[in-house]
Amino acid sequence: MLVDAHVHCFVWEEFPAGERWAFANNWAWYRGSLANLSGGRGGIFVPPLDQKGPWRDAAKVFPRTGKANSDPDGKFLMSYLDAMGIEKCVCLMVDWGLAWGEEAEFPVGEVNKRGGELKKKFEGRFYFQAGVDPRRRNAAELAETAIRDYGASGIKILAANGIAPDDPLCFPVYDVCRSYNKTVTVHTGSGDVAGFSYPAHVWHLEQPAKMFPSVQFVAAHGGGGLDGEWHDILQMTLTIPNIAVDLSEWQYPIPPNDWDPGREQEFIHVLNILRKNLGPHNIMAGTDFMGGESPEYNRWWWDLWRDLPARAKKFGYLFLQEEADLMGGDNARRIYETG
Ligand SMILES: [Zn+2]
C-alpha cells in the first residue's frame, strides 16, 4: 500500500506576512508563466513593451494569499489520500517564523501540537515531522516536546528559511533525535517560495550525517527534482549511508502536457541511477501535497508508482515489485515509523 512521504496540512494563520508577501510577489511578476496562468495548465505571459515589472499589484492578492492552501481540519488532505488510494501520509510541519523576522499568528509550538492532534484524529493514517527552526533559543526543547508529547516521528528543518543543516545551531536538535532514535528531515533543492536556495543545497547534509552516523537523515525533495541536485546526492552518499531521499515535487515536469511530451523516460532513467547508487531502501515517493491543489499531477504520479515495474519495462528497465513496494510506501513506514 502506498504512503505519501511528504505532505502538508496548514492553518492559514501559521503563514507569517512575509511568507505571504513572497507568494504575492511571485504572482505579481508572473514567475513561472507556464505554471502561473490558467490554474497551471499553461499560457504565456507577454509583458507590455513600455512597462517594467511587476505587472500586477501584489497588494491586491495579498489578503487572500495562502487561503486556498489552508486545511484546518485536514479535510482536503484526507480526501486527497482517499482519491489517490493512499493508505498513510507523513506531514511535514513547518516553523516559518524566523525566516521573515516575524512570528506568525499561530506559533510553532501550536503547529506541532496540532500535528499531534491530527495524528490522534486520523489514527493510522497521519504521521508527522515537527517543524523546528534551530535558531530558536528553545529549539531542542521544541523538538523534544513534539517527539515525546505529541508523537512526532522526528523533526523537519526547512533549510530554505535560511538555516543550513550543517550550522552548529542544529546539533542540539540532532542530539534529541539521536537519543529518541528519530528521523531528521531537511528540505533540499530550490529555495521554496522566496526563501534561500544556498542553505538548502544538499552538500550541507554531509557534515551532520557524518557527525550523527546513527541518525537517519532524509533529503526532502531529493535535491529539487530532475533539474536539481540529485547528482550531488550521488557523490555525497557514496560514503554516507544514512541519507535517504523523498522525491516530492518531482512530479510536475514529468507527465506529458500541451507543451512537451513529458519526461517519463528520463525520470525512469534517473530513478534507475538513484536506486543503483543509494539503494531502493533509501528512496521514498511523495508529493508535497497541500490543500487547494488540482489533482491531475498527483494522480499521474501515483499511477506511475503503482505500476512502476510495467512502466519501467516499456523503456527497458527492470524494477522488481519488491523495489516498487519499498519506494512506494515501505521505506516511509520504516523511516517515519508509520507501521
Ligand atoms: Zn514540503
Ligand 1 center–CA 82 separation, angstroms:
20
The reported pLDDT for the residue numbered 40 is: 47
Per-residue pLDDT at 56 exceeds 80: yes
The reported pLDDT for the residue numbered 39 is: 45
Ligand 1 center–CA 6 separation, angstroms:
6
Ligand 1 center–CA 5 separation, angstroms:
10
Ligand 1 center–CA 29 separation, angstroms:
23
Sign of the torsion formed by the C-alpha atoms of 339, 250, 304 and 293: positive
Ligand 1 center–CA 127 separation, angstroms:
14
The reported pLDDT for the residue numbered 258 is: 80
The reported pLDDT for the residue numbered 106 is: 94
Q: Please, what's the largest Cα pairwise distance for the chain?
A: 61
The reported pLDDT for the residue numbered 85 is: 97
Ligand 1 center–CA 92 separation, angstroms:
6
Where does the chain have alpha helices with state H? Answer: 17-28, 33-36, 58-61, 75-84, 108-121, 139-150, 171-180, 206-211, 230-237, 264-277, 296-306, 308-313, 321-325, 331-335
Mean pLDDT of 47-76: 95
Ligand 1 center–CA 250 separation, angstroms:
12
The reported pLDDT for the residue numbered 250 is: 96
Ligand 1 center–CA 9 separation, angstroms:
10
Closest Cα to residue 197, out of 206, 188, 185, 205? Answer: 188
The reported pLDDT for the residue numbered 35 is: 52
The reported pLDDT for the residue numbered 146 is: 98
The reported pLDDT for the residue numbered 28 is: 92
The reported pLDDT for the residue numbered 202 is: 97
Ligand 1 center–CA 48 separation, angstroms:
35
- Taking only the tens place, the pLDDT of each residue in 180-209 is 999 999 999 986 666 789 999 999 999 999
Instruction: List the domain boundaries for the chain.
Output: 2-15+67-335
Ligand 1 center–CA 322 separation, angstroms:
27
Q: Which three cell numbers stand for residue 91?
A: 506531514
The CATH fold assigned to 2-15+67-335 is TIM Barrel (3.20.20)
- Taking only the tens place, the pLDDT of each residue in 71-112 is 999 999 999 999 999 999 999 999 988 888 888 899 999 999
Ligand 1 center–CA 319 separation, angstroms:
27
The reported pLDDT for the residue numbered 103 is: 87
Mean pLDDT of 19-39: 75
The reported pLDDT for the residue numbered 99 is: 83
Ligand 1 center–CA 91 separation, angstroms:
8
Task: Evaluate whether 216 touches 183 at the Cβ level (below 8 Å).
Answer: yes
Ligand 1 center–CA 47 separation, angstroms:
31
φ, ψ for residue 70 (rounded to 5)? -75, 135
Is residue 213 reached through a cis peptide bond, with omega within 30 degrees of 0 on the bond before it? no
Ligand 1 center–CA 321 separation, angstroms:
27
Average pLDDT of every residue of the chain: 93
Mean pLDDT of 251-270: 92
Ligand 1 center–CA 27 separation, angstroms:
20
The reported pLDDT for the residue numbered 317 is: 98
Ligand 1 center–CA 38 separation, angstroms:
23
The reported pLDDT for the residue numbered 38 is: 44
Mean pLDDT of 105-128: 97
Ligand 1 center–CA 89 separation, angstroms:
12
Ligand 1 center–CA 305 separation, angstroms:
19
Q: Report the C-alpha gap between 107 and 71 in whole angstroms.
A: 16
The reported pLDDT for the residue numbered 255 is: 93
Ligand 1 center–CA 7 separation, angstroms:
6
- Taking only the tens place, the pLDDT of each residue in 31-52 is 875 554 444 455 778 889 999 9
Ligand 1 center–CA 146 separation, angstroms:
19
- Taking only the tens place, the pLDDT of each residue in 310-333 is 999 999 999 999 999 999 999 999
Ligand 1 center–CA 22 separation, angstroms:
16
- Taking only the tens place, the pLDDT of each residue in 126-163 is 999 999 999 999 999 999 999 999 999 999 999 999 99
Ligand 1 center–CA 8 separation, angstroms:
6
The reported pLDDT for the residue numbered 42 is: 57
